[in-house]
A and B are shown apart, each in its own frame.
Chain A
Amino acid sequence: MSETNNVSKSKIHGLWALTNRELKKWYKAPVVFALTLIQPVLWLGLLGNALNISSLFSTGSIQFPPELAAQFSPAQLGALSSFFSGLQNQIMGSTFGTTSYISFMAVGMIAFTALFTTMFSGMSVVWDRRLGFLNKVLSTPVSRAVIILSKVLSATLRSMFQAAVILLIAIPFGFAFGAAFTPLNILGVFAMLFLICMGLSSMFIAINIRSTRIETPMAVMNLLNLPLTFASSAFFPIDKMPTWLQAVANANPISYTIDGMRQLLIFNSINYTQLAVDFAFVGIFAAILTTIGIVLSWRFLNK
């Protein structure tokens, strides 16, 4: 053991090893892995069908009173009936941008899942500190930035995989791609997810790294998760919200992520200006938070 340890290494050595450690805990644990696959099925199957919003506007729910029907000829009634059935799609389209609520919700769910995955992987840093693993890694020549980046990267990769699963599962539930969809758009969706996950997980890691108790980050996460999820367009369109909530939702990067993904996946025509705004907003958010997160964590680790 006296021979010298002359190993050439790059500045980012250990990045994949640490990232893979996090990922292995997930894909090598069959139960955990199965649950991440079952979860979207439950969400889409239960919530997506329970909130079958388009049925509110179906012709079945519109009955002409007999005295009103008597005033029209059968031809006129037929025209009215088809007008109302067209109205259903029109209302859905103008409210949700698509005629299928499940498609609308599935995209919201992708963002929602990304939020949760990044939140929970942020918490793993608390365990790493408690169990002494962090100190162990700090005593090795791994760069401090790599320690944080590996957390960010594993959360990002996991979210992206789960997004793909949600999309695949949503198709049998009636997910309908928009007219403007091409397979290339998937790349755009992943780019969007990558940006938001980088930003979110850097933020959560910076919040968690100072804490040694799991309770504190749990409380913080619970506090953050409600406004981030529901003050966004995840399950309901922003322009139908009260004005004060619109203001919050319009500052929420999750809303921009979701809008961008909806444009790429389910809308019939893509508003490229809006899409550019979405990418710019999420991109800037990610850049700022990743920088802040890494700088804060790095300074903390160099104490």
Chain B
Amino acid sequence: MSEEVIKAEGLTKVFNHNLVAVDHINFSVKRGEIFGFLGPNGAGKTTTINMLITVLKPTEGKASILGYDIAKQNNDVRNTIGVVPQEYTADEDLTGYENILLCADLYGIPREISKKRANDLLTLVELTAFKDKKVQTYSGGMRRRLELACGLINRPKVLFLDEPTLGLDVQTRAATWNYVRMLKKEFGMTLFMTTHYLEEADALCDRIAIIDHGKIVVVGTPDDLKESLGGDIITLSIKQDVDITNLVKKIEHVKEVKKENGMYMIKSENGEVTAPLIIEALRKEGHVVTKLSLTKPTLNEVYLQYTGKSMRDAADESRDSFFAQRAMMRRSHM
């Protein structure tokens, strides 16, 4: 089998003949990696995931999961993947245990096997004590964990998580991240997730694709993407009123020096290595550094660089069009 677990080529979805939700995207996900789709609401993340999990048929292009074509071999795909949807899909009137067994039945897993697996998974997501309680008594975090357990019942090789921490509090979000890391580490699972939280993509994903208006604008590891901006920013001021621009420029790793309001903004790779070098060089010339700060670029800067707007603005801007689009997609079945 190929190292490319998920492969999409020119994948496109058009709703109602005019709304292009996903526009000729290409990407591949390697075995055992956590791949994140980052973008604001309405960017096409859920539509992409719905195509990959065989719920929606692509309008154009193709994609495969472990070599199975999502359109032609959809049943093989379905047997290979696990899905943790954005919504709480567990049935409120049933217990957690019954919900997991229901999921098992949907995969045709015989009862004697599914009972054992259900119990193992309940232990894994720490819900054993609540397994016979109706889901309507569960908290948001417990429901997320139950969804996770349901998504794992068929022992998938690829797990799809759609906005796994949407609406969760900080603590539960961190706990969810730990489960995701564990799945990768303990079971070598390949994970595909969507998120509109920059810090989530940064903390969790090995590689991310930034998606905007249905198109992938850039793919890379969070670090590479941040590096691509030209490195860290060191801001410093000195006691003496002399221009040190040319002096600093000669120092290794330094790329760019700007003076603004008496402060020097120094762009550099490996800022934490460069900063001591700068201090040392300045001291040799008799300059005293009074203030120094080091800023690592965040994904927000990356996002800004590639989409021309900050994540927050994008979310605001797309909110109206997002609801219009979602209403349309719902009508034409998401």
Which residues of A are in contact with B by a Cβ distance under 8 Å? 1-3, 5, 7-10, 13-14, 16-18, 21, 24-25, 28-29, 129, 131-133, 135-142, 210, 212, 300-303
Which residues of B are in contact with A by a Cβ distance under 8 Å? 50, 53-57, 75, 78-81, 83, 85-89, 91, 93-94, 98, 101-103, 105-110, 113, 150, 152, 154-157, 160, 187-189, 330-334
Nearest-neighbor residue (CB-CB) of B109 within chain A: A7
Nearest-neighbor residue (CB-CB) of A143 within chain B: B75
B124 smallest CB distance to A (angstroms): 10
A135 near B334 (CB under 8 angstroms)? yes
A interface secondary structure, majority: loop
A22 smallest CB distance to B (angstroms): 10
Most buried by A among B81, B188, B330: B330
A132 near B93 (CB under 8 angstroms)? no
User: B89, B108, B113: which contacts A132 (Cβ < 8 A)?
Assistant: B89
Nearest-neighbor residue (CB-CB) of B147 within chain A: A136
**Complex formed: what's the CA distance from A18 to B101 in Å?**
11
B57 near A303 (CB under 8 angstroms)? yes
Residues of B within 8 A of A1 (CB): 152, 155-156, 187, 189
Residues of B within 8 A of A141 (CB): 75, 78-79, 106-108
B interface secondary structure, majority: loop
Residues of B within 8 A of A8 (CB): 108
Residues of B within 8 A of A210 (CB): 331, 333
A303 near B108 (CB under 8 angstroms)? no
Nearest-neighbor residue (CB-CB) of A136 within chain B: B89
How many residue pairs, one in A and one in B, have C-beta atoms under 8 Å apart? Answer: 104
B188 near A13 (CB under 8 angstroms)? no
**Complex formed: what's the CA distance from A141 to B188 in Å?**
23
**Complex formed: what's the CA distance from A141 to B109 in Å?**
11
Given known pairs A9-B108, A14-B108, the reply for A3 and B155 (CB within 8 Å) is yes
B55 near A139 (CB under 8 angstroms)? yes
A29 near B78 (CB under 8 angstroms)? no
B329 smallest CB distance to A (angstroms): 10
What are 8 A-B interface contacts by the 8 Å CB criterion?
A2-B157, A5-B80, A14-B106, A18-B102, A25-B94, A132-B89, A139-B55, A303-B332
B93 near A24 (CB under 8 angstroms)? yes
**Complex formed: what's the CA distance from A267 to B78 in Å?**
54
Residues of B within 8 A of A14 (CB): 105-106, 108
Residues of B within 8 A of A212 (CB): 330-331
Nearest-neighbor residue (CB-CB) of A32 within chain B: B93
**Complex formed: what's the CA distance from A217 to B81 in Å?**
34
**Complex formed: what's the CA distance from A21 to B90 in Å?**
11
Residues of A within 8 A of B93 (CB): 24-25, 28-29
User: B50, B91, B334: which contacts A133 (Cβ < 8 A)?
Assistant: B91
B106 near A17 (CB under 8 angstroms)? yes
**Complex formed: what's the CA distance from A7 to B156 in Å?**
13
Most buried by B among A8, A29, A138: A138
Residues of A within 8 A of B56 (CB): 303
Residues of B within 8 A of A18 (CB): 102, 105-106
B172 smallest CB distance to A (angstroms): 19
User: A7, A16, A25: which contacts B91 (Cβ < 8 A)?
Assistant: A25
A2 near B187 (CB under 8 angstroms)? yes
User: B86, B106, B331: which contacts A140 (Cβ < 8 A)?
Assistant: B106
A201 smallest CB distance to B (angstroms): 20
Given known pairs A13-B105, A135-B85, the reply for A5 and B155 (CB within 8 Å) is yes
Given known pairs A131-B87, A303-B57, the reply for A17 and B102 (CB within 8 Å) is yes
